[in-house]
Structure 1
Amino acid sequence: MAPTGTPWAPGLWRACNLFMSAFFALAAVVQVNDPDAEFWVVVYMIPALLTLLVGFNPLVTGNFVWRSVSVIHMLFCGLWAGGLAHHFLRHAQQSILNEEEGRMKKVWKWWSQDSNPALSLGLLRAITNSTLLPESCLAW
């Protein structure tokens, strides 16, 4: 369980994951005007469901199915982001950092990989995620 000195850390971790779940779900909902909305709804709903599960039960990250879906999704998104970065670098007319695709998503999923409160990085990740939450909302 969580260290005795930080009783608020598990609650903060759950709140951050529930908030990010809502954020990803909202990102999926607003894709209706895109020509490829079906693709983007799936891309955003997978992390929405994964973070929702972590919000309800942080120990779910040890589950084989949860971890497999997360790793496969990150692999797919990483390969896609690499291809997109290559395309933007070759055809960029402005800075690549001005593009919205995948800036915060990969960081968030990497940080939520191991949310087991027994891990030493649990507190660090909870604090970092609570810092990334407002930034991701403002950037969006």
Structure 2
Amino acid sequence: MGEVCRDSRSRVLSVSWRVCNLFMCLFFCLATYVQINDPDAGVWMVGYGVPALLCALITLNPHVTETLVWRRVADLHVMVSCAVVSMLGWRLHAEGVTEIFQREEGREFSGLLLTTVWLLMCRHSGRSPVGTLRVSTAVAITVFPFVAWLYYYINRELTSNWPSHCKTAI
């Protein structure tokens, strides 16, 4: 009886993990798409497109995180993202910015930080069954960008000072 319960619980956690990766894939695809109007669109499309692809692969096969190619691509993306996040974070700190979503650098900082945290969570997730802590954290992280995007989309006055390329993609 206890083993059946554990197997059922493990299956629910595994499915939940894959669903979170599916939603993060969708979010990163959406983030990739809205970069189309950005002056430096290519850089940011790669910045969000790579995590979208990596999440799609996890959705299809959670054990893909144990392949050398997946890990190298994820590690390279995390390394570059950490460098850019550090530079953007320092710039925001030096300028004393408190409302980071009102500045393009703040939105870029937040987006890259999200991709970095997510890819670090995914690292080695295929090694053994995912646990309750990882899945609970994944659900919280997955919900946040969708709620934040919806909040800013509904409250147009929050985006009134954004440059036009940030308002016209969706």
Q: TM-score, normalised by structure 1?
A: 0.88
SS in 2 for 1:139: helix
Letter in 2 for 1:10: S
Letter in 2 for 1:110: L
> Shift of residue 86 of structure 1?
1.4
Hey, what's the Cα distance between the residues in 2 that align with 1:122 and 1:66?
21
Unaligned runs of 5+ in 2: 1-5, 150-170
Query: Residue 122 of structure 2 corresponds to which residue in structure 1?
Result: 112
SS in 2 for 1:82: helix
Query: Residue 16 of structure 1 corresponds to which residue in structure 2?
Result: 20
Query: Residue 34 of structure 1 corresponds to which residue in structure 2?
Result: 38
Determine what percentage of the aligned residue pairs are the same residue. Answer: 34
Task: Kindly indicate whether the alpha-carbon contact (under 8 Å) linking 1:10 and 1:117 is maintained by their aligned counterparts in 2.
Answer: no
Q: Which has the larger radius of gyration?
A: 2
Task: Kindly indicate whether the alpha-carbon contact (under 8 Å) linking 1:116 and 1:122 is maintained by their aligned counterparts in 2.
Answer: no
> Shift of residue 88 of structure 1?
1.6
Hey, what's the Cα distance between the residues in 2 that align with 1:122 and 1:50?
20
Query: Residue 83 of structure 1 corresponds to which residue in structure 2?
Result: 87
Task: Kindly indicate whether the alpha-carbon contact (under 8 Å) linking 2:19 and 2:59 is maintained by their aligned counterparts in 1.
Answer: yes
SS in 2 for 1:8: helix
Is 1:73 equivalent to 2:50 in the alignment? Answer: no
Hey, what's the Cα distance between the residues in 1 that align with 2:122 and 2:99?
26
Task: Kindly indicate whether the alpha-carbon contact (under 8 Å) linking 2:54 and 2:74 is maintained by their aligned counterparts in 1.
Answer: yes
Task: Kindly indicate whether the alpha-carbon contact (under 8 Å) linking 1:89 and 1:96 is maintained by their aligned counterparts in 2.
Answer: no
Hey, what's the Cα distance between the residues in 2 that align with 1:96 and 1:60?
38
Letter in 2 for 1:101: E
Query: Residue 126 of structure 1 corresponds to which residue in structure 2?
Result: 135
Is 1:4 equivalent to 2:14 in the alignment? Answer: no
Q: TM-score, normalised by structure 2?
A: 0.73
Hey, what's the Cα distance between the residues in 1 that align with 2:127 and 2:14?
7
Task: Kindly indicate whether the alpha-carbon contact (under 8 Å) linking 2:22 and 2:55 is maintained by their aligned counterparts in 1.
Answer: yes
> Shift of residue 102 of structure 1?
3.8
Hey, what's the Cα distance between the residues in 1 that align with 2:109 and 2:18?
23
- The 3 A distance-change label for structure 1 pair 100 and 28 is same
How many residues matched?
136
Which has a greater percent of helix?
2
Unaligned runs of 5+ in 1: none
Hey, what's the Cα distance between the residues in 2 that align with 1:102 and 1:65?
26
